[in-house]
Structure 1
Amino acid sequence: MTTAARDTDRATDGVADRAAGAAAGRPDMLKGLGFGLAAALLWAIYNVGVEIGRADGFTSADLALLRYGGAGLILAPLLMLQWRRLPASLTSGRALALSCIIGPPFAFLFNTGYGLAPLAHAVVISPGMSMLVANLLPVLLDRQRLSGNRKLGIAILIIGVIAIAADRPSATEAGDSAILGDLCFVGSGTLWGTFIYLMARWHLPAVATTAAVSILSTLSFLPVYLMWFAPAQLPAAAWIEQLIYQGAIGGGLAIVAFASSIRLLGSGLAGLFPALVPPLAVILAIPLARQWPNGLQILGVVIASAGLIVSLDRVARHFSRK
């Protein structure tokens, strides 16, 4: 594809995205907001579920298998229903590449981080890095320019991440392992940001792509898991609980809800809802994991969440047209 053709595609995508948001009527707007809120809530529950799983004794390998295997089982029927209508952009090579990016390597880093750093670190550092990478890759690779709102939001986000990372557990709790946990979240966030960029660059459908990636990840990871890892010796109820958290909620329902929100609102307005995951996860950790955030964690979550929201400049433009 020529440079001119790529520029035309990006311009067309931008017009289509703005048109989708502008064309949404009041009923579709309300439905889209509902789907977006549901996705944010489900992802927040998933984050807390990982924390619970690690505390119960599940390993990173256990949770990775449950996430991709569970999501694959749930989304496979949807993939089969769309099989004859899949776009040409979703090739086996691209699905395989994405499975290498957000498959077992992503799950290993993300789940390992939970065993080393507090929950508040995970729900800010990993999403924060995702946003940074997803915004910087188009600048570096496609020569796109960041808007003023986006730059301001990223600056606020960095301040929030620094505040969260500055909170170190005492030596009796985790020693210096929180630093390694933070690095795991930086790595997982970088991989997820790359995935977001490629999804937009290749114009891939969210549900079908996620199903294909989940199935490929399961098929590639299952032999490794059976050969090198021993399943956690925990009750069946605990495994079922994590299957719900990992596969049904995090890998399945949340993505379906978010894809529905994008369809009804456009990517700009729908992109607001992932910014709600950090505060929701910290709040839900109180009743679900019995984990109370301290003052510095709350401050960092508030600042970083504000940065994520401010960076969504299309939201501001959407409401300014009303």
Structure 2
Amino acid sequence: MSQARRQWAEGVALGFAATIFWSFYNVGTAIGRADGFSSADLAMLRFGVAALVLGPLLAFRTDWRPALPFRRVAVLTLLIGPPFAFFINTGYGIAPLAHAVVISPGVTMLTANVMAAVVDRRAVPMQRRIGIALLVLGLVAIAADQPAAAPSGVPVWLGDLCFVASGTLWGIFTWLVGRWKLPAIETTAAVSVCAALCFLPVYLLAFGVTSLPAGLWVEQVVYQGLFGGALAIVAFAGCVTRLGAGTAALFPALLPPMAVLLAIPLAGQTPSGVQWLGMALASGGLVVSLEFMRRR
């Protein structure tokens, strides 16, 4: 297998792995909000656990500093640190799960591709345009089959705006990681440590720890810290460095079908006919965009 073909295969594998981890994270966030966790609780778990897991790598390795200066770490922390966590966790308290896994990854995909096309002047191949169109149709189909009112009484569109904001932040992060060619594990570790140190005093002084059973906290440690804060971001950053920002940004669009499938055993939610159609369109769009037939 040639180097280019092996790099493509590794990127695709990492992209699918990141999507699976994120699917568990998204379903877990919805469960956490329903169990009574606040947005601040989930954000602190996301950054704190990831910092504890990946932070020691930075202490034993010094070769990451030239490739990842503090200025870039600060920029990435502002993008996928506390602001991102605030938007997506707040959105989960207002809008349904299917809205989150449709709007946020869809906006991520569009933002990363627009940035690559406008700023980097990269042409978007016709096959990818067709794939993106199929992806968008699948996302719209899933989003259209949802209730219009939130149980809390807050307008659902406010939660949708939170997902638009989180998707935009993640799309810019995706584009920057690909543009700067950053190391996946070191980047994730540095951002997690920086976000945890910045957010911890704010969390303790302004919000405080929510009183809930220890078992629920352990469950969210896995969902937020391991799946969402560490494994998913490491896999996705590795995917970006191998496939580029535009192609890598297509994988989050598989979140809706995967999350909907996971919600069947974890949340007891069975997809409707329209949602099954959306999953088929989104999956087909990814296949077309990644040019599997040309690379078979």
Output the TM-score relative to the length of structure 1: 0.81
User: Which of 27, 46, 50 is matched with 1:48 structurally?
Assistant: 27
- Equivalences for residues 175-214 of structure 1 within 5 A: 177-214=155-192
- Equivalences for residues 110-259 of structure 1 within 5 A: 110-169=88-147, 171=149, 173=151, 177-258=155-236
2:243 is aligned with 1:267: yes
Say what the alpha-carbon RMSD is for the aligned residues: 2.8
Preserved CA contact (<8 Å) 1:102 1:195: yes
The 3 A distance-change label for structure 1 pair 258 and 287 is same
Preserved CA contact (<8 Å) 2:101 2:255: yes
Q: What is the letter of the counterpart of residue 59 of structure 1? A: S
Cα displacement (A) at 1:272: 6.8
The 3 A distance-change label for structure 1 pair 173 and 305 is farther
- Matched-pair identity in %: 54
Cα displacement (A) at 1:157: 2.6
Unaligned runs of 5+ in 1: 1-17
The 3 A distance-change label for structure 1 pair 239 and 196 is same
2:49 is aligned with 1:70: yes
Count of residue correspondences:
294
**What is the CA–CA distance in structure 2 between the aligned matches of 1:19 and 1:113, rounded to whole Å?**
44
Q: What is the letter of the counterpart of residue 5 of structure 2? A: A
**What is the CA–CA distance in structure 2 between the aligned matches of 1:261 and 1:166, rounded to whole Å?**
30
Preserved CA contact (<8 Å) 1:79 1:207: no
Which residue number corresponds to residue 12 of structure 1? Answer: none
The 3 A distance-change label for structure 1 pair 306 and 118 is farther
Preserved CA contact (<8 Å) 1:115 1:181: yes
Cα displacement (A) at 1:93: 0.5
Which residue number corresponds to residue 289 of structure 1? Answer: 267
User: Which of 22, 45, 63 is matched with 2:5 structurally?
Assistant: 22
**What is the CA–CA distance in structure 2 between the aligned matches of 1:134 and 1:270, rounded to whole Å?**
9
Cα displacement (A) at 1:288: 1.1
Moved over 4 A (4+): 31-37, 257-263, 268-275
Q: What is the letter of the counterpart of residue 56 of structure 2? A: P
Unaligned runs of 5+ in 2: none
Q: What is the letter of the counterpart of residue 267 of structure 1? A: L
Preserved CA contact (<8 Å) 1:124 1:304: no
Output the TM-score relative to the length of structure 2: 0.88
Which residue number corresponds to residue 90 of structure 1? Answer: 68
- Bigger CA radius of gyration: 1
